Structure 1
Amino acid sequence: MAEHTLARHLAEFAADTSYEALPREVDDSVRKRVVDVLGLCVAAHRLPTSAAIVEHVREQGGLPRATVVGGGPTRVPAPLAALANGVLAHSLDYDDTHLPSVLHPSASVVPAALAAAESTGADGRDTVRAIAVGLEVCVRLGMAGYDRESGNSTFFEHGQHATSICGALGGAVAAGLLLGLTTDGLVDVLGITASMAGGIIEANRTGGTVKRLHCGLAAQSAVTAAQLVGRGFTGPPTVLEGRFGFFEAFLHGVYDPTAITDGLGTEWAVPGIFFKPYPANHFTHTAADAAMALREQGLDPARVERLVLGVPAPVIRTIGQPIERKRAPETGYQAQFSGPYMVAAGLLGGGRGLGLGLDDFTDELARDPARRELMAKVEVVADDTATGIFPEQFPAVLTAHDIDGRVWRQEVLSNRGGPDRPLSDAELALKFRDNAAGRLSGTDIDLVMDRGLNLGALDRIQDLLRPLAELKTVAGGHHG
């Protein structure tokens, strides 16, 4: 009898979970996440890095098996489609987040699954099932590395991007299911993918666009590993808990195995994954909410003398350090990781759609003198209340002192898009339409939304992706 390792626990869960066994809320959640990811892939075409990854993938050649969003009518090998779409999905920092693991599960798992499904001719039901299982595997691996005592991810403490590391393994299980791997094969796919997983998060602090690659590389690794297992490659059955395994290599052997096994198959994390209302690092969202609330209460940005943004202590290094750089981002991308910028954006911008949109994160606005003047007045400090709630939520307490001596204060203790403050179906539809506007026709926007939200009824995944292959060029597109 095969050794009942952690990898086998996950493999048996994956193999034994049928589409029919998925709870209704899991099925519903997966379909919405697919639509959300596809909208992000479309919107990401405003970035020069998106053009670069699409061009890179198209130059590689190979058998035409899967669609790249915006990559043209000629398909590419499935691992390369997963690479490109994973990069697109994560590039705007607009993809979903699981708390408290602080993973962005869908940006790796969904592109890997869609590429594998299209390449094998899988139907929508099998694809929904594979994505659901892949997301659950990703989250549970991330939670195994969550330190409850410190309230933080050990992956992050080590400088590792848990999103792409765990996303590679979750995506590989999803791809493996769609490629028809057995339970033993799924154990092997975890064993192989663990050697392909990676990601360093220093770019969050000091710049660089490499983080945009992470989910694409994870998705590519996922599909490649599943294909290699199909050709006979194998992995160690003790890949996760072994002396030289995944948790030793990444977490120095400090992990919680019960986060993987307890309730597996009966208690699903998938429906609780947060949708993002704003295209920015999730730590910054409540700062924008607090600033927009103060603006609505009558605070005049022109009369602000000083601003104090209180946040959980562990997030300061991401959105408040080094403070000189966070107060003066050079690009829209750097602005997405700046607490001071989100305060300025909330006080000066937004007001459309979900509040703040992609047009609030351009290079021009990052360098706008009025925003720079406000950012220079923002201190980012640890707030005890916020720290006590983190990382179940990413709270913010914003205090503004105006030139008349009045003190304004706004607490935002829970994030929009999660179970406490969910985005409605109408808000998720608005997000997709905003992301696709100008690059898809109104007809194709409706078509993709309808097919995505009814994914389980599709006979072929290619029918969902075909309208996304060729996008319209938007004159003067943003590069923020």
Structure 2
Amino acid sequence: MTLAAILGEFAAGVAPPRTVCEDVPRRVLDVLGNALAAYAEPDAGAAAAALAAMQRWRGVPESTVIGYGARLPAPSAALVNGVLAHSLDYDDTHLPSVLHPSASVVPAALAVAEVGAPGDLIAAIAAGIEVTNRLGMAGCDPSTGANLFFERGQHATSICGTIGAAVAVSRLYGLSSRQIADAIGIAASMGAGVLEANRTGGTIKRAHCGWAAHSGIVAATLAAEGLTGPPTVLEGRFGFFTAHTGAFDAGAITGGLGERWELLRTVYKPYPANHFTHPGIDCALALRRDGLRPSDVESIELGVAEPVLRTIAEPPEEKTHPRSGYHAKFSGPYTIAIALTGGGGLGVGLDDFAELGPARLALAAKVRVHADAEATKAFPRAFAAVLRVRTRDGRTLEHRVAGSRGGPENPLGEGEVAAKFAANAARALPAEAVSLLETAALRLGHGGPVSDLFPA
């Protein structure tokens, strides 16, 4: 059997175990909270642009745009909701693939479910996220841990997420395993996303998950109407992995499929910033708890995994002087400065990226980032870091973390995920609506209707 056929059989017939069925509603909750917080942001230009573009095209009002309340054709609503879900870089992350599966899969599935697609929503989302994660894992070099998508500047989140979204929608449509394989073959021609915005700015990266959600619906719908994809679309000579990574690990796709769920290794973010910055934030927060004050700092050295330098440390002048609050989310130096100065207590929150502060820019300029051997060895199965601070009175302070807070070995608890959702949703909704929305999302796991999400 080809890989697409194997994934098609899995998606068509899978009945997720109880642990997965209990987890999926929390994925929906996290996406909704992130999207609502993005809607409420003063810098919501990417989502507003996506909404305006979709409204320009008009069409049948089928599915709800989160926050705005507008109704659009399902692919258009999924596009805007995917932009919202990914806009704050607060969406869940799978390791070792280092991608964000839910921000593409959930918006696509919700948009189609709202129209009345008859399939099992929980099973559809679970299958879509699992396929997304496994495609991302297959693009990791097992000998070095390098993510071959990222090595080529490609965004695995949107490239793999397009196929995952197509799988989820296909399951909702009730397509056969052969048709789902065709949807995979079609979606493989639609996934895209380059990562240069991580380095030098621009808002296009916020749209990557929206495009993946939109394209996934289109691919599944075309398959339902009879369009076909190449059977060897993933492993073929001119297939998906040849195009995107050059090499791949087929066992990462098929090994334990349906038995070992990579979905359960998808972790929730505690901080609204690029995940590569999180271990450095953890280190800075630890030193701050021990009494370090910004005025004490002479210089700072941040040691991280070598592959992440290109995202959070290079070019150095861009990272010590980010162009915007969004750009600052991808800066190791600036997120260290935030962790040492703000965060609403001893954390890092959305308000810390609302604007660039001169005091933080001055502190970020004191940070130098380098490759650390231990962190490099742990990557990509864990995000590790070491922070060394030279103080004005000549002391050297150091803190190391082997894995970031919220990572696979230290995941956020259910209460923390719920608290994150409530804080995010409260930026856009009154308390009563936040509570109603949480209840409606969690009831999805017990057959609750998708329509209950949207009155809130």
TM range (shorter): over 0.9
CA distance in 2, matches of 1:35, 1:438: 15
1:397-430 per-residue CA deviation (whole Å, 9 max, x = no partner) reads 0000101111110111112223311212221111
What corresponds to 1:474 in structure 2? none
For 1:12, give the aligned amino acid.
E
Would you say how many aligned residue pairs link Structure 1 and Structure 2? 453
For 2:212, give the aligned amino acid.
A
CA distance in 2, matches of 1:391, 1:351: 30
Q: Indicate if the aligned counterparts of 1:79 and 1:115 stay in contact, CA closer than 8 A.
A: yes
2:249 paired residue among 235, 253, 256: 256
Q: Indicate if the aligned counterparts of 1:67 and 1:466 stay in contact, CA closer than 8 A.
A: no
Indicate the SS of the match to 2:63: coil
Find out whether 1:200 has 2:197 as its counterpart. Answer: no
CA distance in 2, matches of 1:308, 1:418: 23
1:358 paired residue among 341, 344, 350: 350
1:131 paired residue among 125, 146, 150: 125
1:200-228 per-residue CA deviation (whole Å, 9 max, x = no partner) reads 11111111111011100000000011111
- Identify which range, 146-155 or 458-467, moves more after superposition: 458-467
For 1:62, give the aligned amino acid.
G
Find out whether 1:395 has 2:395 as its counterpart. Answer: no
What corresponds to 2:265 in structure 1? 272
CA distance in 2, matches of 1:459, 1:398: 47
Indicate the SS of the match to 2:389: strand
Indicate the SS of the match to 1:400: strand
CA distance in 2, matches of 1:100, 1:49: 28
Where do 1:207-246 residues align within 5 Å?
A: 207-246=201-240
Find out whether 1:14 has 2:11 as its counterpart. Answer: yes
Q: Indicate if the aligned counterparts of 1:122 and 1:460 stay in contact, CA closer than 8 A.
A: no
Find out whether 1:174 has 2:168 as its counterpart. Answer: yes
| Gap regions ≥5 residues in structure 2 | none
Indicate the SS of the match to 2:292: coil
CA distance in 2, matches of 1:141, 1:150: 18
What corresponds to 1:405 in structure 2? 394
- Identify which range, 242-251 or 154-163, moves more after superposition: 242-251
CA distance in 2, matches of 1:438, 1:208: 24
Change (3 A) 1:412 1:351: farther
For 2:51, give the aligned amino acid.
V
- Identify which range, 110-119 or 46-55, moves more after superposition: 46-55
Where do 1:81-480 residues align within 5 Å?
A: 81-122=77-118, 126-252=120-246, 254-352=247-345, 355-363=347-355, 366=356, 368-467=357-456
1:152-190 per-residue CA deviation (whole Å, 9 max, x = no partner) reads 111111111000000000110000111121111101100
Q: Indicate if the aligned counterparts of 1:451 and 1:458 stay in contact, CA closer than 8 A.
A: no
What corresponds to 1:477 in structure 2? none
CA distance in 2, matches of 1:236, 1:164: 21
1:241 positional shift: 1.1
CA-atom RMSD, angstroms?
1.3
1:345-371 per-residue CA deviation (whole Å, 9 max, x = no partner) reads 11001144x8211001122xx2x2211
For 2:58, give the aligned amino acid.
G
Identity of aligned residues (%): 54
- Identify which range, 35-44 or 450-459, moves more after superposition: 450-459
Normalised to the residue count of structure 1, the TM-score between the two structures is 0.92
Q: Indicate if the aligned counterparts of 2:383 and 2:407 stay in contact, CA closer than 8 A.
A: no
1:135 positional shift: 0.5
Normalised to the residue count of structure 2, the TM-score between the two structures is 0.97
Find out whether 1:79 has 2:68 as its counterpart. Answer: no
CA distance in 2, matches of 1:337, 1:69: 25
Q: Indicate if the aligned counterparts of 1:192 and 1:234 stay in contact, CA closer than 8 A.
A: yes
Q: Indicate if the aligned counterparts of 1:120 and 1:179 stay in contact, CA closer than 8 A.
A: no
- Identify which range, 272-281 or 436-445, moves more after superposition: 436-445
1:40 positional shift: 0.7
| Gap regions ≥5 residues in structure 1 | 468-480
1:121 positional shift: 4.5
The 4+ residue runs of structure 1 with deviation greater than 6 A are none
Change (3 A) 1:86 1:301: same
What corresponds to 1:50 in structure 2? 47
1:120 positional shift: 2.4
1:379-402 per-residue CA deviation (whole Å, 9 max, x = no partner) reads 001111111111111111000010
CA distance in 2, matches of 1:396, 1:466: 44
